[in-house]
Structure 1
Amino acid sequence: MEISASGRLEVRITPDDVGKRVSVRRLGEPGAAPEKFTDTVGVLTSWDNGVLMITRRDGERVRIPQSALVAGKVVPAAPARRRGPAASYRELAHVAARAWRPVESERLGEWELRAAVDDVPRGPGRPGPAPGPRTGFTRRANSVLPLGDPGLPLDAALDAVRRWYGERGLPAYVQTATGAEGTQELLGAELERRGWTREVTAELWTAALAPVADRAGGADVALSRTVDEAWLARYRRTGVGEVALRVLGSRSPRTSGAESEGGPSVWFASVPGTTAGEPLAAIGRCAVDGRWAGFAAVEVDPGRRRQGLATEVMAALARRALDEGASAAWLQVETDNEAARALYAALGFTPHHAYHHYRAPSEPETPSGPGRP
């Protein structure tokens, strides 16, 4: 906390510090002992009508009455990382997006609109998507990645986003991140003010790659560039069709307003069942992109869990990634998946930042009237 020369705590933040990372101390919750204080660290996302809103690293928003402040100061944009490879949020966001390539993408300034659904005819005389909701393969490949200025005022940009996804029969999602330098706490706060709903929160974790590769054992892990029916049968996701195969293989998407780039090198791992004809015991996927190896789709037969198979799969993929020149690892894990988080922590992974998917509010019904069928 900020302490003056006289030894007293001071509040040294103002509404002009919105958008900066701050550390504040406030009086305890109502009914708490008078001497009890609560400390909060995060990005100051608003200061309106005597109330501060601070977004913590995990995306939680904390409302603090200005009258309850005891001390406060601006602090560095992100804490120093003591473990794992050094990386910026922007670098990891690009790498993660390339590992889950959409079928189609379009640029809106520095925002990337991404969709992974079957082709839909659009334009004059073309009907567009059939009525009813459609679901793209994974939110990661069907959401906006906002890495800067969309080139329009925010409301106009969000209108353009909703039109673009509406033409494809999809709900509009925007993916934001919190907890690292350059993340989008302010954008998340603006989306919530406009009625967008946060549906999913997960974290991106990083680690050195070599220690993962060293965790080898005796399991028979096969690696392939492609997936077969046995691999897909173990992959617990809905809607695994041609679109899903394109995303899993990370082929370059059709683009509009941007050059298409080559995708990462993708490998699939599988561990056979104990007898011939049994379903696969475990699977995994790794996308190698420069120095980064991204792990995903690590699934184990429920009857074979706690036998180290997930570790074996990741170790085999890590060794192949090392052969291709990678040195660092990343993965994404939901905040409530305690088993996976324990496994990844044991392999040396630590959280880098959190990310969140915001869904657009439902369109209000338009009243009928002249010219409005």
Structure 2
Amino acid sequence: MEFLAGGRAEVRITRADVGKRVSVRRRTGGGPGEAAFTDAVGVLTSWEQGVLSITRRSGECVRIEESSLVAAKVVPTRRPTTTPQGASRPFWMAPARRRVPAAGTRELQQVAARGWPAVETERLGEWTLRASGGFTRRANSVLPLGDPGLPLDEALERVERWYGDRGLPAVIVVATGRADTDEELAAELAGRGWRDEAHTRVLISALAPLADTAADTARVTLSREAGAQWLALYNRTGDAPTDQARAVLTGGPSVWFATVRGAEGGTAAIGRLVVDGRWAGFAALEVDPALRRQGLATLVMAALAERALDEGASAAYLQVEADNAGALAFYERLGFSDHHGYHYRRALPGGRD
């Protein structure tokens, strides 16, 4: 890894580079049998209180003390060359650009959880209990990624008590539809009277082709914050977004908010992106009902895809409710394909039916 500039190592990144792909070298102490330095490459996702967080393509987050830095630089993005919408591509480029990424269900569950992080979490074995004041099911449900460390009935009692203490319903998200999903847990919960709701599909795609779907992305404004104009069109926070809602929306490794202004100054379209290693997660895509069917949703997706490519991502994912036929058709036209499904199981008052 080459860090030398003018014959000496330099730290050539600052806090302004958060969100960029970087390469860093740090001291490790160099004890017996230990290398004196170690390197890390990934997206600089935060730099706070003297500690850098770097998210690798695998999703692993590395925390580095600022005082241990020896050298660092921004890594130029090796972005695939884009072509105008509708133009033909060289035959050697198309397969790699359009190949749907291989991914396990657990990987996607973990990435999605980091990309829509709960305000409060607690571990129960390999389960994670999540609460965020009731803002969205995803941030207020149990993520079960293995054994809870207790017999199931005891674990469920703990879950119900934990959520009850917070004035929230007990809800567990269950992945289905593949060999590596939670069909057995879904059956166990159904047998105990936990009601199913909000069936959802997880879709994935190669990222680079999304950036080619619209040309005039300069119309899209990208920001690190969900400003008043963005929130004006987002329909899930109510008139006054709570602190919990803002924390979830702005949480994640590297978050961007897209806004398109209308001709009369209002908000025409919005979207949210979170970049986590190789994955780019898309959410909160909304278009003013009076301005639909003008390509604004495609424009937002393309602008966010360009941003994600610049940060080194290569794969895209998103979540769509299974009964939203219009959205599913739209994303299919953009090149997304089905990966797995999930739904929520809610404990009914009074226990089993």
Is the TM value for this pair above 0.5? yes
The match for 2:306 among 301, 319, 340 is: 319
Match of 2:192 in 1: 194
Match of 2:17 in 1: none
Q: 1:88–1:181: 8 Å Cα contact kept in structure 2?
A: no
Give the unaligned 5+ runs of structure 1.
1-81, 118-135, 251-262, 365-373
Match of 2:255 in 1: 266
Match of 2:215 in 1: 217
In structure 2, distance between residues paired with 1:361 and 1:236: 27
In structure 2, distance between residues paired with 1:186 and 1:243: 33
For the residue of structure 2 that corresponds to 1:216, the secondary structure is coil
Which AA in structure 2 matches 1:228?
A: G
What do the CA deviations read for 1:321-355 (whole angstroms, capped 9, x no partner)?
00001000000001111111111001110010000
Q: 1:272–1:281: 8 Å Cα contact kept in structure 2?
A: yes
Match of 1:259 in 2: none
Match of 1:151 in 2: 149
Q: 1:213–1:316: 8 Å Cα contact kept in structure 2?
A: yes
What do the CA deviations read for 1:37-76 (whole angstroms, capped 9, x no partner)?
xxxxxxxxxxxxxxxxxxxxxxxxxxxxxxxxxxxxxxxx
Task: Report whether the alignment pairs 1:339 with 2:326.
Answer: yes
Residue 216 (structure 1) shift = 2.1
Task: Report whether the alignment pairs 1:182 with 2:180.
Answer: yes
In structure 2, distance between residues paired with 1:238 and 1:90: 28
Residue 83 (structure 1) shift = 5.8
Match of 1:122 in 2: none
Match of 1:304 in 2: 291
Match of 2:247 in 1: 246
Give the % identical residues: 63
The match for 2:268 among 271, 276, 281 is: 281
Which AA in structure 2 matches 1:244?
A: A
Task: Report whether the alignment pairs 1:229 with 2:228.
Answer: yes
In structure 1, distance between residues paired with 2:109 and 2:116: 11
**Equivalent residue runs for 1:331-370 within 5 Å:** 331-363=318-350
Query: Rg: which structure is higher?
Result: 1
Residue 246 (structure 1) shift = 0.3
For the residue of structure 1 that corresponds to 2:138, the secondary structure is coil
What do the CA deviations read for 1:143-189 (whole angstroms, capped 9, x no partner)?
00000000000000000000000010000000001112320000000
Q: 2:280–2:315: 8 Å Cα contact kept in structure 1?
A: yes
In structure 1, distance between residues paired with 2:143 and 2:348: 18
Q: 2:207–2:309: 8 Å Cα contact kept in structure 1?
A: yes
Which AA in structure 1 matches 2:248?
A: V
Q: Paired residues, what number?
A: 252
Give the unaligned 5+ runs of structure 2.
1-97
In structure 2, distance between residues paired with 1:348 and 1:115: 33
Q: 2:193–2:347: 8 Å Cα contact kept in structure 1?
A: yes
In structure 2, distance between residues paired with 1:84 and 1:242: 37
Q: 2:237–2:245: 8 Å Cα contact kept in structure 1?
A: no
Match of 1:290 in 2: 277
Residue 236 (structure 1) shift = 1.2
Which AA in structure 1 matches 2:321?
A: E
Match of 1:46 in 2: none
Task: Report whether the alignment pairs 1:167 with 2:165.
Answer: yes
Closer/same/farther in 2, CA of residues 331 and 170 from structure 1, 3 Å limit: same
In structure 1, distance between residues paired with 2:249 and 2:148: 28
Residue 227 (structure 1) shift = 1.1
For the residue of structure 1 that corresponds to 2:329, the secondary structure is helix
Residue 218 (structure 1) shift = 2.4
In structure 1, distance between residues paired with 2:289 and 2:142: 34
Which AA in structure 2 matches 1:162?
A: E
In structure 1, distance between residues paired with 2:257 and 2:237: 19
In structure 2, distance between residues paired with 1:160 and 1:241: 27
In structure 2, distance between residues paired with 1:227 and 1:138: 17
In structure 2, distance between residues paired with 1:111 and 1:241: 26
Please identify, of 200-209 and 233-242, the stretch whose mean Cα deviation from structure 2 is larger: 233-242
Which AA in structure 1 matches 2:268?
A: A
Closer/same/farther in 2, CA of residues 83 and 155 from structure 1, 3 Å limit: farther
In structure 2, distance between residues paired with 1:217 and 1:270: 16
Match of 2:6 in 1: none
Residue 230 (structure 1) shift = 1.2
Task: Report whether the alignment pairs 1:114 with 2:168.
Answer: no
Match of 1:90 in 2: 106
Q: 1:288–1:321: 8 Å Cα contact kept in structure 2?
A: yes
The answer to which structure has the higher helix fraction is 2
Q: 1:143–1:175: 8 Å Cα contact kept in structure 2?
A: yes
